[in-house]
Structure 1
Amino acid sequence: MTTPEISFEFFPPQSLAASFRLWDTVQTLAPLEPRFVSVTYGAGGTTRELTRDAVSTLHNSSGLSVAAHLTCVNASRQETLEIADGFAKAGVKDIVALRGDPPKGQDQFVPHPDGFANSVELIEALASTGKFGIRVGAYPDKHPEAQDFAADIDWLKAKLDAGADEALTQFFFEAETFFRFRDACAKAGIDKPIVPGILPIENWKGARNFARRCGTHIPVWVENAFEKAVRDDREDLLATALCTELCSDLIDGGVDKLHFYTLNRPELTRDVCFALGITPKAELQNVA
């Protein structure tokens, strides 16, 4: 089996304890030599400052290539581009450009009066600066707001045509879901890399709720397996086995890159990587 390139997503800490957790996560996963790590934005841009600080700290102290998430929510064009310029001045050369989720309590995205109307406008503006590699989101299962599966593919193509270099997918439970999506993208003329997003399931209840919110199909067999594993106190064992099998199936199908959503809990991600033959190569450099 070919060993894939990997990348990891973290979220910014909102407390001192969470800061230690993030650093522990970085120390655990950095020796696996990811091609990059990304730091998320909270819904409605609520962690904008925290994201900026976490990106800056990771970039300066970890030796990792860090990609900053950037959204269109609750900010004018000028404010958004000033944030991007701040990333560039800090040496951050990669951005994950997203429309972003609506603020808490709102059902749908409403553009800022002076802001970007959607992710395509944001991508065009970022690409015009020439300062960043740009990654975008993709949905192997239909996005909850999309008219249909074909509309999702068309929107992804628009984002890539606007200047994005690579797409990272939402998580899914079966390799065939990704292969079907990949084939549809190729048929639509998309030739830029599409990297499957992988969620090692730390907590089945939370993962199930998140899947339902973002439109990810939950196969009946997965639901039944986790309900039994939770009853038998074998949830982590099942999660590791299923995630490893999913990644192995993807690799067998020609996938050479995987993007892991760590939720700042590195153990399952590390164990899956080990099972795939991805082993530590170096220690994280010490922070002065």
Structure 2
Amino acid sequence: MKVIDHINQAKDTLVSFEVLPPLKGKGIEALYKHLDPLMEFKPSFINVTYHRSEHIFKKRADGSFEKVVVRKRPGTEAICAAIMNKYNVDTVPHLICGGFNINETEDALINLRYLGIDNVLVLRGDAAKNETTFDAEPGGHRYANELLKQVTNLNAGIYIEEDLKGTQQRTEFCIGVAGYPEKHFEAPNMQTDLRYLKEKVDCGADYIVTQMFFDNEKYYAFVKSCREAGINVPIIPGLKPIYNKKQLTVLPKTFHIDLPADLANEIQKCKTDQDVEEVGKRWLLEQSKDLKKNGVPVLHYYTLGKPHIVADVVREIR
């Protein structure tokens, strides 16, 4: 079932989760263990992130170096199919520009259709860890709206190969895109960022999922600005628990977001990580209650290693 259909048919705020693929060489059992305590809440869908390839230099026997492409968390498509099979829940694989050329992207989308997956979250993706700026794959997409256009072309039955035109089935992907209540860090200003977001919606995006935020007023202001800009698709808030003091510096640096002073001050007073978890859980709970009261379509939780915190919160708001 498509995400947009879940939203349109819902009588109350839905719940969804986001998970990481296991590290390369690890089994899927740890992921199942992560998801098991969350399944009692009957999530409408589960997002599975995609992590682009990285370039490393490996030393040869003769002392020279060769450039090697590695992926630390492979398997997004297969994991989505495994989750669907085990839990009978819809999944949303992330699809990014980095690491794919357009032909590989088309093949990946065809594989998703074969697996019965009809949702994708289209993202440009971040620069590789050893690169300062985003570089597109040779023959790949530079921007999310280019990738989004390829998905909508397949939905219209338009494939890359000329001799396939008119002979292939149309795909039926529901397409999500990312939104940034505090502005994408590469955008010069919020107005530019909103204009780019509207381009993605005009290209065929069905809904928006936001970057994490810790101040609901920023989400409400973002939704208001989107509506004023003519962006009328559902806007799903993305939520994440804080569970250690290190996140006070890591989250702003990595995701270019602000943490409210009240939250930061309470965390600074904590003596242990368990104390931080309690503060983070209370904050997430109050965020969730307020958002649900104000009628958001879905509460989307970035679980990422701390499913028990999210489970405790969802249990109190259901």
TM-score (norm. length: structure 1): 0.90
Alignment of 1:1-288 (within 5 A): 4-14=13-23, 19-44=28-53, 46=71, 49-130=74-155, 131=171, 132-206=173-247, 208-231=249-272, 233-276=274-317, 278=318
Distance 1:20 1:203, change over 3 A: farther
Once the two structures are superposed, what CA deviation does each residue of 1:217-258 show, in whole Å capped at 9, x if it has no partner?
A: 122222111111245841121111100101112223332311
> What is the Cα deviation at residue 53 of structure 1?
2.3
Distance 1:208 1:260, change over 3 A: farther
1:198–1:260 CA contact under 8 A, matched in 2: yes
Distance 1:207 1:42, change over 3 A: farther
Paired AA for residue 220 in structure 1 = A
For 2:281 and 2:140, how far apart are their aligned partners in 1? 42
SS state at 2:269 partner: helix
> What is the Cα deviation at residue 50 of structure 1?
1.9
For 1:202 and 1:17, how far apart are their aligned partners in 2? 24
What does residue 285 of structure 1 align with? none
> What is the Cα deviation at residue 212 of structure 1?
2.2
1:134–1:166 CA contact under 8 A, matched in 2: yes
For 2:142 and 2:280, how far apart are their aligned partners in 1? 38
2:24–2:73 CA contact under 8 A, matched in 1: no
> What is the Cα deviation at residue 81 of structure 1?
1.5
SS state at 2:246 partner: helix
Once the two structures are superposed, what CA deviation does each residue of 1:46-87 show, in whole Å capped at 9, x if it has no partner?
A: 357421221121122221101111100022100111111111
Larger radius of gyration: 2
> What is the Cα deviation at residue 28 of structure 1?
1.1
2:24–2:74 CA contact under 8 A, matched in 1: no
For 1:78 and 1:232, how far apart are their aligned partners in 2? 46
SS state at 1:223 partner: helix
Paired AA for residue 216 in structure 1 = I
Distance 1:213 1:150, change over 3 A: same
2:181–2:211 CA contact under 8 A, matched in 1: yes
Paired AA for residue 105 in structure 1 = N
Larger helix percent: 1
Once the two structures are superposed, what CA deviation does each residue of 1:194-231 show, in whole Å capped at 9, x if it has no partner?
A: 00000022334136413322211122222111111245
Query: Where do 5+ consecutive residues of structure 2 fail to align?
Result: 1-10, 55-70, 156-170
Q: Which moved more, 1:18-27 or 1:181-190?
A: 18-27
Distance 1:229 1:56, change over 3 A: same
Count of residue pairs the alignment pairs up: 276
Query: Where do 5+ consecutive residues of structure 1 fail to align?
Result: 279-288
